């Protein structure tokens, strides 16, 4: 059913709200160790910039064929200009609430021979005024979209998540959330949350096997009034558990992994796009799994296209 689902997605409108950032990459060769300290010296010969965080979720949804808009808080600086330019080139509508009191979040990665050596983060706290303005824009326009994806990177840009979820569900729009932190009460009422294993166990506790996972995830869904919980488990694949206790386990796709950066963004984007067009849960999970498998085979915050997904399905004989 995925080819038909991908075709439907091209007619969908997706709203991504969350912590956008600019991913900056410095590439170079390591030929010696510093005489000042036992660390490698990287002779940088190339740099690159990509949209990251919630902006990469938007890129992932757009790459799947959806019409996509991003709502986020940034600084009023050249880095926000770069972010807007990059997203515009991908055909994504940007609604950036620019705050002169903060700097746009930057993640700088130093890479040599396809290996990440170091990451340096530049970030500052988000003001309440910026969060209020973002919420006002959201409430005015949420009904224009088929699905809402809330991408929470814990940077403070989603200060009114409950109001956002309530408004979307009142408008009969599904809400998919990539959560952060130890307290999931702020995501109460969402359609689905998509923690990775570490994030899930931080809240629900360690699980021993699939039976234990289903029990804990179902209890979480019941407590926070969620339709379901999707736990991404790395090499163990992913598991979607509904409030009723029904579970779908999808094994990981065998492929060489270059970089897991952005894999979670791809998963939530694929699930959101599938939900936007009323796709079946099984098909949404299958789409997310195939897309994530493609992305981890690339370097950096990458995306998966319908052509790449269809090629993978052809290899499978689907």
Strands (E), the chain: 13-18, 20-33, 40-53, 67-75, 93-99, 106-112, 115-122, 147-151, 175-178, 192-193, 228-232, 238-242, 247-250
Contact 14, 145 (CB under 8 A): yes
Q: What is the CA 97 to chain-centroid distance, rounded?
A: 20
Residue 205, helix vs strand vs coil = coil
Cβ contact 265:240 at 8 Å: no
Tokens of 253: 């796709």
How many alpha carbons lie under 13 Å from residue 283 in its C-beta half-sphere?
17
Alpha carbon distance 270, 80 (integer Å): 26
Reference 53, options 158, 206, 175; nearest CA is 158
For the chain, the straight-line distance linking the first and the last C-alpha, in angstroms and rounded, comes to: 9
CA distance 58 to 67: 9
Among residues 208, 179, 190, 181, the alpha carbon closest in space to that of 267 is found at 179
Number of residues in the chain: 318
* CB within 8 Å of 197: residues ≥ 6 apart: 231, 232, 233, 234, 236
Beta bridge partners of 184: none
* Dihedral angle sign, alpha carbons of residues 294, 209, 193, 146: positive
Cite the active site residues. Answer: 265
Are 142 and 167 within 8 A, CB to CB?
A: yes
């Amino acid at each position: 059913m995925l080819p038909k689902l991908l075709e439907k997605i091209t007619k969908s409108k997706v709203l991504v709200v969350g912590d956008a950032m600019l991913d900056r990459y410095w590439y170079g060769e390591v030929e010696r160790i510093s005489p000042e300290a036992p660390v490698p010296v990287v002779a940088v010969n190339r740099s690159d910039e990509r949209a990251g965080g919630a902006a990469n979720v938007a890129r992932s949804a757009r790459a799947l064929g959806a019409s996509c808009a991003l709502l986020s808080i940034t600084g009023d600086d050249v880095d926000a200009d770069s972010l807007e330019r990059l997203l515009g080139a991908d055909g994504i509508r940007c609604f950036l609430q620019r705050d002169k009191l903060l700097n746009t979040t930057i993640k700088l990665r130093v890479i040599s021979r396809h290996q990440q050596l170091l990451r340096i983060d530049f970030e500052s706290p988000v003001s309440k005024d910026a969060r209020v303005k973002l919420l006002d824009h959201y409430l005015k326009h949420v009904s224009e979209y088929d699905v809402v994806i809330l991408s929470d990177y814990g940077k403070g840009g989603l200060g009114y998540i409950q109001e956002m979820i309530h408004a979307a569900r009142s408008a009969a729009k599904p809400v998919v959330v990539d959560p952060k932190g130890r307290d999931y009460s702020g995501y109460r009422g969402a359609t689905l949350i998509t923690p990775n294993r570490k994030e899930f166990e931080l809240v629900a506790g360690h699980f021993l096997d699939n039976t234990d996972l289903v029990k804990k995830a179902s209890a979480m869904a019941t407590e926070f009034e969620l339709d379901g919980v999707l736990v991404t488990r790395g090499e163990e694949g992913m598991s979607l558990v509904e409030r009723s206790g029904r579970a779908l386990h999808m094994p990981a796709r065998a492929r060489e992994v270059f970089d897991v950066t952005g894999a979670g963004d791809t998963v939530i984007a694929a699930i959101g796009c599938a939900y936007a067009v009323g796709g079946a849960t099984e098909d949404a999970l299958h789409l997310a799994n195939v897309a994530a498998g493609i992305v981890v085979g690339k370097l950096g915050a990458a995306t998966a296209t319908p052509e790449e997904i269809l090629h993978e399905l052809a290899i499978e004989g689907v």
